[in-house]
Structure 1
């Protein structure tokens, strides 16, 4: 079995170190870029302040999109859920950011 290693991804200009099997590195990086893009869209709207609130809204939007997919797309959805769980874990390990505004 391949040992996991740490991948550093950047989301909203903050680094997160996430343990990941080498074979999943590209998927993790792609998921992080996707999440970063969604969070930046929300931040640019100016309607939501604070990284934590932006992250929750992005997670809800992504979850909604996944639930709207046909059942035949389930394997890809499972991979995304696993990666989101890893990102959630990394967020829990990082210090809480104070809200702006």
Structure 2
């Protein structure tokens, strides 16, 4: 049985406590560093505002990277980018309404 302990991480200046098996702590820390880097790049581009939108765009970008690696042959990268652009436009259309709630 894997022993799990809480681990404190920081992503874009926000602190989170995550439970993680001891033998996966190093991989989790690498993932946190990668995610933090991607989110900061998106924020610094000035094209996306709001931590929730930045997180969604980072998730989409990282998913795109993963799928591209998995499907190097026969994968239509341009179509996938167009789909991401459409998703971003849809988010841009609905998230201002959510911002009004807070």
TM (norm. structure 1) is 0.68
RMSD, matched Cα: 1.5
Aligned to 1:35: 35
Moved more, 3-12 or 54-63: 3-12
Query: Please, which runs of 5 or more residues in structure 1 have no aligned partner?
Result: 72-97
How far apart, in 1, do the equivalents of 2:2 and 2:36 lie? 28
Distance in 1 (CA, whole Å) between partners of 2:2 and 2:62 is 29
Local SS of the residue matching 1:33: helix
Q: Which runs of 4+ in 1 moved over 4 A?
A: none
Q: Which has the higher helix share?
A: 2
Other structure's SS at 1:69 match: helix
Unaligned runs of 5+ in 2: 72-97
TM-score, normalized by length of structure 2?
0.67
> C-alpha distance in 1, partners of 2:61/2:70?
17
Deviation of 1:3 after TM superposition, in Å, equals 2.1
CA distance in 2, matches of 1:70, 1:22: 28
- Cα displacement string for residues 57-89 of structure 1 (whole angstroms, at most 9, x for unaligned residues): 000000000001136xxxxxxxxxxxxxxxxxx
Q: d(CA) in 1 for partners of 2:44 and 2:2?
A: 40
